[in-house]
Chains A and B, each alone.
Chain A
Amino acid sequence: MRAIRLLAVNEFVDGLRNRWVAAAVILLGTMAVTLLLVGSAPTGTTRAGALAVSVVSLASLSVYLLPLIALMLSFDALVGEFERGTMLLLLTYPVSRWQVVMGKFCGHLLILGTAIILGYGGAAIVSIFTTETGVAGWEAYLTMMGSSLLLGAVFIALGYLVSVLVRERSTASGAAVVLWLLFVVLYDLGLLGVLLADQEQQISQTLFSFLMLASPTDTYRILNLTAFDTVGQAAGIAGVAAEAGFGIPLLLTLLTAWVAVPLLATMALFQRREL
């Protein structure tokens, strides 16, 4: 445990030193404050409330931004240390390889968590005190914050997988961009294309829902846009997935699996790797 804690703290302090933490807090905070204050204008005092309304817009933006931040933090984590030669030394210390991965993961998660709690949380506090709806919709907002961290964790883990698979840093950064495009843009475009092409409606709604669940970003969207009635109304969508009956526990389990599988795969590959 001591090794994991030390590695995590080291990673976090590094994030503080190179201003990663500050940049992420400011980015997420500005985004959230803007959306909360601007977003509350048209709804006025409807029963949806500023927090619930902003969940839609924040979740829609987070789905692009958080994977990007997470991948930028993580793609370098292993390959960068192989290249610099620091990994060689680290592994002669009383540290297991899985502990190295776990320690870095905790550290990066801490960076992302700080950004989400200070950025999104700070913005929510501003909103609670400046809008009339106050704390209404806080459950949905908290769920959004929690699932945002989970989404970030998914892409940190995927970034590590890239980092352990490739031989060079430059390849890793390229692969990270491809990964981002694939999960954040291309997969959804593909799904849309399939729907458009499917004139005879051979794809059932259930199948489509499952296809959406195959992507962590869509799982995150479903979780935030349909899980709460108040948000569903604000989002203005009937909730494709809600009708298929996905509950919050299932969606959270799916996201957790998206963290665990790449993380375990990274540990296994790293264990086999010769330096």
Chain B
Amino acid sequence: MAENPPTVNAIELTGVSKRYGEKTVVSNVDLTVHAGERLVMIGHNGAGKTTLMKLMLGLTRPSSGGVKVLGGNPASASASQRQILGYVPENVAFHGAMHGREVLAFYAGLKGVPAAAYNGILARVGLEEAADRRVSTYSKGMRQRLGLAQAMLGEPQLLFLDEPTSGLDPSLRRQFYELIDTLSRSGTTSLISSHSLNEVEARADRIAILKNGALLACGTVSELLEQAGLPIFVHLKTKPGSAGEVARQMAPVGEVHTLQGDRFELLCTGSGKMELIRRIASLGEHVEDMNIVPPRLDEIYNHFMENNEP
């Protein structure tokens, strides 16, 4: 989370398209990532997440549109601009015959990071004990952590993480996100792609939803919720005997379903939520308990996936 209001945009994409022959992989994407922000791209396989990252890293060039990363064109980025980038590719691969420490030493050398610093990073990702073993003996999780370790070299200001937690067990995932959170608190901008929606919900400042190469929506969870217009569920428990009165009062603001005797389920839109709460408050002691259930991220995601045909 950015401490100060962002001044410079870390990434700016304007009308970016990428075609390979006949196939359009990214079509007309406008996206801005503010400095210090954690932006998560979600989308199905082949939605264009990896291609977008490659475009931002300057590994490939857009067919049309403009890509600006840290104020410059990434395809012609100077060494000093690359110095402050970190990247974990989707299928991170290393030379299997090298030891973990050798791999990190090699990448650290390219960035001019001293040995003390990279040994510290090995400890931070929990690879200290395995550092002097061949990478080919590493598990998927260890390889992924080595991938994150190399991305952390040289205190990057901008991190690109392409499905960083695929293949990790839940506890490793949590560790992984804790590491990213720590980096984020020190001001690192991170762009994460994922398709496990619920795990990123709490980790993202903003979420971008991609489908078939097009950007369907981008915003905070509550902004997406508003755009999607999905109903909020409100569960109410009334005093015995007050059920009828409560149901009558609630009817104008939401759809009422009686569940059993003194329990209701109300469906209301995001904009009607406050009115609903005021009415509940005015009912005083008739209502014993309430519970607001906003739509989950995967419901929002499904909504965008099903109702948009780019």
A binding-site residues for B, Cβ under 8 Å = 2-3, 6, 10, 14, 17-18, 84-86, 88-96, 274-275
Contacts and interface: CB of A to CB of B under 8 A. Distances in A.
B228 interface: no
Given A274-B60, A275-B59, A14 B97 contact: yes
Interface in B128-160: 150, 160
A85 B79 CA distance: 21
Given A17-B97, A85-B89, A85-B93, A91 B59 contact: yes
B111 A6 contact: no
Nearest to A5: B109
By Cβ-Cβ distance, the 10 closest A-B pairs, closest first, are A94-B79, A85-B93, A274-B60, A94-B82, A92-B87, A275-B59, A93-B110, A6-B109, A84-B93, A94-B83
A2 B113 CA distance: 12
Chain B contact residues: over half helix, strand or loop, or mixed? mixed
A92 B93 contact: no
B106 A94 contact: no
A93 B61 contact: no
A274 B82 contact: no
Contacts of A86: 93-95
Most buried by B among A6, A10, A93, A274: A93
A3 B79 CA distance: 11
B89 A93 contact: no
B89 A88 contact: yes
A89 B89 contact: yes
Contacts of B260: none
A14 B95 contact: yes
Contact of B59 (A3, A88, A96): A88
Given A85-B93, A89-B89, A275-B54, 7 more contacts: A85-B89, A89-B92, A89-B150, A94-B79, A94-B80, A274-B60, A274-B61
B109 A2 contact: yes
Contacts of B112: 2
Contacts, number: 58
Contacts of B95: 14, 86
Contact of A93 (B98, B111, B160): B111
B107 interface: yes
20 contacts: A2-B109, A2-B110, A3-B110, A14-B95, A84-B93, A85-B91, A86-B93, A86-B95, A89-B87, A89-B92, A91-B57, A93-B107, A93-B110, A94-B83, A94-B110, A95-B79, A274-B59, A274-B60, A274-B61, A275-B59
B214 interface: no
B266 interface: no
Contacts of A2: 109-110, 112
B85 interface: yes
Contacts of A6: 106, 109-110
A228 B82 CA distance: 52
A41 to B, nearest CB: 43
Contacts of A84: 93
Nearest to B107: A93
Contacts of A274: 59-61
